[in-house]
Amino acid sequence: MTTGNLYDALRESHERQRGLCRRLLRSKPGTRARIELFAALRLELAAHEAAEERYLYVPMLMDDAGLDASRHALHEHHEIDERVAELQSLDPRGEPWLEKARGLSHQVHHHLREEERKFFQLSGKILGAAAKLRYAGGYRRDYARMLRKLAAE
């Protein structure tokens, strides 16, 4: 999908993240599928975070009413990044890895739910309709660029 406003673009990635988390937790230890799913989730999260921070959080930080919510969301992105880094240091065949993966999935789901139920409503009051459309294009371009960049690393 390439039409719609910023929230439509963000929800597309949110659904990919949810699906990847579900599939990752169902994957068998030591399989190529688990490793590939984790790599896909890691890239999806990183590309989404970068583009979302630039095209949603930064504009929200520019408005006094959006400061606290944006800071909180940025903090949650940081926590998710830390969980991903922890998983990268563990053996994907072990129980500690699966426990950390469950924690990551829980954190991702919590963040997405909070964003969709609270942050989108707040930002919807602050950002105008034209800005939401403009930021959607910027988000999509930056998301795609980040996916390519991160996949090449």
Q: What type of residue is 137?
A: G
* Domain assignment of residue 50, yes or no: yes
Domain count, the chain: 1
Query: Whole-angstrom Cα distance, residue 85 to residue 83?
Result: 5
Kindly state the tokens that stand for 75: 């903090």
153 residues of the chain, pLDDT tens digit each: 456 899 999 999 999 999 999 999 999 998 999 999 999 999 999 999 999 999 999 999 999 999 999 999 999 999 999 999 999 999 999 999 999 999 999 999 999 999 999 999 999 999 999 999 999 999 999 999 999 999 999
* Domain assignment of residue 36, yes or no: yes
Give the global pTM. 0.95
* Domain assignment of residue 1, yes or no: no
Residue 25 structural domain: 6-152
Query: Whole-angstrom Cα distance, residue 82 to residue 63?
Result: 28
